[in-house]
Amino acid sequence: MNARIRIHSLIAGTALMVTGLGQTAQAQTTTLTMSSWVPPAHYVVKDILQPWMADVEKATEGQHWELARKGVADITWGNFTYEPDRFKSVWFSELPMMGSNAEASSVALWRTYSQFLARNDVFKGVTLLGTGMLGGGQFHHPGKVIDTPDDLKGQKVRMGGPIQKRLLEDLGAIPVAGPGTKAYELLEGGVIDASLHALESVVNFRLDGKLKNHTIIPGGLYDASFFIAMNEGKFKSLSAADQQAIQKLSGEALSRRWGQQFDKQNKEAETKLRANGHKFAQPSPALLDNIRKVRTAMLAELHKDGAAFGVKDHNAMVGYYEQQYKALAK
């Protein structure tokens, strides 16, 4: 190893350092910054990023996408579809019924990126270290279970991202854009009637006192796709040995770690909500059919436009993702 690499989180206040001895036998240190937008106690930081940082240190002896691409921060993480036009190539992974096993979907997305998207122009300027999924988001309502198409008519529903917006519009609801962290405030103020979240977010955003009715769509109503990325120039400035050490702990391994934690959090959240008397329901066949129709229409549109966002055969890419997910979710 030629250098010790310290990764310092700009918000979480954690640091990772990789150390080695150069030819002069003097220890050298390289400090990398990581941008994070959730509190230090959030499990994405505490249970995913910090353990990964610690593993990198041990192995080497020692808007967020733009932050990494431009070098404002060396390492960042965020949601692909917060920049929807740039990352239309990954929209498919957020469509309804793509899977509720976060470990399987996170790894399937990484493999799909590696197979179909790694040379896509929009990914230039960064070294992608991992991908992650929620494990499926669902309907949550304070006063009623949403299980028929009529239950959604005219309902103001908090959402984030283009997939969720399109889905709600086509189902007859009124989408209201807002971060998950603002859902409590929006509910309290009567701005929204319901909200879209993964089960873990209902608990981790402290919404379980408000949202007591949960409609579980098999395979997820929608999902959210995340990246962990490093500035390409900074990555290339590291020694070959340190690059290899980081890559060994990243990619599929980091994506799997991400998914495992989301699966754990979703399972624990469901157990807590059920124990507290929350209502869980399955959608009626009519609502399920409407959701499938939106999914089918969006897949057809994405396939038609695929060449415009650098994917020649969108159907082949989606088929590969679904094949990988099915194999991993067994």
DSSP letter string over 278-299?
-EEEPPPHHHHHHHHHHHHHHH
The pLDDT value recorded for residue 28 is 54
The pLDDT value recorded for residue 31 is 67
- Categorize the per-residue pLDDT at 16 as very low, low, confident or very high, splitting at 50, 70 and 90: very low
Mean pLDDT of 232-245: 90
**End-to-end distance of the chain based on CA atoms, in angstroms?**
39
> Could you give the CA distance from residue 325 to residue 133 in angstroms, rounded to a whole number?
12
* More confidently predicted of 183 and 29: 183
Mean pLDDT of 66-70: 74
Count CB atoms within 10 A of the CB of residue 70. Answer: 11
Structure token pair of residue 68: 């990494």
Q: What percent of the chain has pLDDT over 70?
A: 86
Q: Whose CA is closest to 207, among 184, 181, 239, 176? A: 184
> Could you give the CA distance from residue 330 to residue 326 in angstroms, rounded to a whole number?
7
* More confidently predicted of 157 and 72: 157
Q: Which of 2-11, 182-191, 224-233 has the lowest mean pLDDT?
A: 2-11
> Could you give the CA distance from residue 137 to residue 207 in angstroms, rounded to a whole number?
14
3-state secondary structure of 310: coil
Q: Which of 9-13, 55-59, 196-200 has the lowest mean pLDDT?
A: 9-13
Asked whether the predicted pLDDT for residue 147 surpasses 60, the reply is: yes
Q: What is the mean pLDDT of the chain?
A: 88
> Could you give the CA distance from residue 303 to residue 305 in angstroms, rounded to a whole number?
5
Model pTM score: 0.86
Asked whether the predicted pLDDT for residue 77 surpasses 90, the reply is: no
> Could you give the CA distance from residue 29 to residue 6 in angstroms, rounded to a whole number?
7
Mean pLDDT of 251-274: 97
Structure token pair of residue 328: 């991993």
- Categorize the per-residue pLDDT at 135 as very low, low, confident or very high, splitting at 50, 70 and 90: very high
Structure token pair of residue 14: 């954690």
- Categorize the per-residue pLDDT at 15 as very low, low, confident or very high, splitting at 50, 70 and 90: very low
Asked whether the predicted pLDDT for residue 43 surpasses 60, the reply is: yes
> Could you give the CA distance from residue 259 to residue 263 in angstroms, rounded to a whole number?
6
* Contact yes or no for 220/97 (Cβ under 8 A): yes
Domains of the chain: 4-134+225-264 (3.40.190.170), 138-222+277-328 (3.40.190.170)
> Could you give the CA distance from residue 116 to residue 107 in angstroms, rounded to a whole number?
14
> Could you give the CA distance from residue 3 to residue 26 in angstroms, rounded to a whole number?
10
